[in-house]
């Protein structure tokens, strides 16, 4: 069964190039779009996003990956870019080879780990990044994540609403699960964004989460870094802002959400990738 990947974009425009010029980027493949921004407080953008679409006999498959470099680690901007690039290429190849989506997701994490490991040199650096990926194939979305970058379902009917599809690997999440703090208190604590799983040094034995989701109707799959969701953790307001426009213009909606985060303070790097559902076979790849 022959398959051809017809589109592939990484956040800096090309795999393997230095992670320069990433302060603000907008990329779009028609079926999926993403925007990444440095925000107002960081000196550089340590997020990365990669997108791909793969044409198959059953229709197009849409792939998105968002990674957030761990600021307390070394070379976080390079770690996120290396992980996102390797993962999207591996996910696209898995679709082309007809692999089970869960197997493809795990292979992508392994490739991302290897890519980040290759950044380590004799100086004993420890680059690291969070990770979330999604493969939308017809009515099935396969998610994979490590860390606190998130996936949400933004439901377009009858009124915009949001559903969190991932669970953070963070000290804040652990404190909430143990009943030590309420979610709002945990997010305000110094441990709010201390991750417990990641891609990179020191996390070799950590397993990724893999889950599948069936969209209940029209809506948008949104992947984002904590630079966006930190301003609206339940994403209800984000859904109202994004919909219904994101159904037909995901790039415009992504840019609007990034602008919302910047105007709310822009304390972190901000990245959002949006895939409308159902997948349209009539949309042409365009820049947002």
Q: Each residue of 69-125: pLDDT tens digit? A: 998 888 899 999 999 999 999 999 999 999 999 999 999 999 999 999 998 875 667
Condensed to tens digits (0 to 9), the pLDDT of residues 185-225 reads: 666 666 666 899 999 977 767 889 999 999 999 999 999 99
> 164 pLDDT exceeds 70?
yes
Give the confidence band of 1 by pLDDT, cuts at 50, 70, 90: very low
Give the confidence band of 280 by pLDDT, cuts at 50, 70, 90: confident
> 226 pLDDT exceeds 80?
yes
- Tell me the three-class secondary structure of the chain, residue by residue: CCCEEEEEEECCCCCCCCCCCCCEEEEECCCCEEEEECCCCCCCCCEEEEEEEEEECCEEEEEEEEEEECCCCCCHHHHHHHHHHHHHHHHHHHHHCCCCHHHHHHHHHHHHHHHHHCCCCCCCCCCEECEEEEEEECCEEEEEEECCCEEEEEECCCCCEEEECCCCCEHHHHHHHCCCCCHHHHHHCCCCCCECCCEECCCCCCCCEEEEECCCCCEEEEEECHHHHCCCCCCHHHHHHHCCHHHCCHHHHHHHHHHHHHHCCCCCCEEEEEEEECCCCCCCCCCC
Domains and CATH numbers, the chain: 4-277 (3.60.40.10)
């Amino acid at each position: 069964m022959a398959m051809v990947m017809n589109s592939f974009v990484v956040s800096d425009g090309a795999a393997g190039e230095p992670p320069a010029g990433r302060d603000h980027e907008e990329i779009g493949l028609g079926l999926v779009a993403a925007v990444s921004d440095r925000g107002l407080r960081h000196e550089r953008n340590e997020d990365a996003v990669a997108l791909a679409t793969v044409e198959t006999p059953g229709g197009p498959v849409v792939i998105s990956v968002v990674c957030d470099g761990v600021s307390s680690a070394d070379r976080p901007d390079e770690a996120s870019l290396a992980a996102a690039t390797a993962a999207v290429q591996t996910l696209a190849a898995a679709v082309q080879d007809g692999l089970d989506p869960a197997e493809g997701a795990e292979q992508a994490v392994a490739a991302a780990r290897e890519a980040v490991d290759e950044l380590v040199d004799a100086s004993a650096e420890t680059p690291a990044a969070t990770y979330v990926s999604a493969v939308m194939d017809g009515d099935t979305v396969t998610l994979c994540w490590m860390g606190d970058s998130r996936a949400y379902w933004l439901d377009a009917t009858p009124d915009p609403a949001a559903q969190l599809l991932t669970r953070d690997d963070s000290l804040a999440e652990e404190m909430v699960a143990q009943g030590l703090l309420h979610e709002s208190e945990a997010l305000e604590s110094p441990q709010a964004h201390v991750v417990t799983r990641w891609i990179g040094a020191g996390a070799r034995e950590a397993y990724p989460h893999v889950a599948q989701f069936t969209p209940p109707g029209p809506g948008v799959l949104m992947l984002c870094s904590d630079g966006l969701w930190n301003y609206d953790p339940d994403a209800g307001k984000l859904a109202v802002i994004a919909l219904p426009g994101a159904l037909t213009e995901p790039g415009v909606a992504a840019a609007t959400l990034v602008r919302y985060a910047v105007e709310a303070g822009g304390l972190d790097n901000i990245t959002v990738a949006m895939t409308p559902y159902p997948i349209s076979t009539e949309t042409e790849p365009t820049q947002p």
